[in-house]
Amino acid sequence: MKIRSSKPRKQRKFLYKAPLHIRRKMLSGHLSKELRQKYNRRSMPLRKGDEVEVMRGQYTKKRGKISKVNYKKYKVYIEGITRKTTVGTEKLVAFHSSNLKIVDLNLSDKKRMKVIDRKVKTIGKTEKTASA
């Protein structure tokens, strides 16, 4: 396993050169307290259909479903949160994942459910061995 550098220059280089499968993991958001207790996880990768709440910035406490996730730019777009352009058209506002909190998960994908179940089961096994 490679040890990542703590130098800012190398961190930025890692961000810019990261492959898409790693960028997906970097675009993770914190779960709400209810979801955290339910799934025994602190965060999950964001995906289209998840309902999120904005935690920072001009649109604080606004909620909406994710309409698009851009892994190249590390940005997330939320339905209903728009801004007027100079031409006068409406444009979706881009958010960074660190400023969002997941309120409701999109569990329509079976693979995503398997990932969650796997994590919950491993937590259960470690609790049983610790109590024995």
**Residue that the structure tokens 């949160």 belong to:** 81
Whether the per-residue pLDDT at 130 is higher than 90: the answer is no
d(CA 72, CA 27): 10
pTM: 0.84
Flag whether pLDDT at 55 surpasses 90: yes
Q: Which residues pair with 77 in a beta bridge?
A: 68, 94
The pLDDT value given to residue 84 = 97
Greater pLDDT, 71 or 121: 71
- CATH code of 11-106, in short, is 2.30.30.30
Q: Work out the percent of the chain whose per-residue pLDDT is above 90.
A: 75
Taken as a whole, the chain contains a residue count of 132
Q: What is the pLDDT of residue 118?
A: 86
Cα distances (Å, whole numbers) of residue 127 to 119, 123, 124, 130 = 13, 6, 5, 5
Closest CA to 75 of 53, 105, 51, 99: 99
Whether the pLDDT of residue 80 is over 90: the answer is yes
Q: Which amino acid is at 47?
A: R
Torsion of CA 51, 55, 60, 62, to 10 degrees: 10
Q: Of 95, 97, 57, 99, whose CA–CA distance to 79 is shortest? A: 95
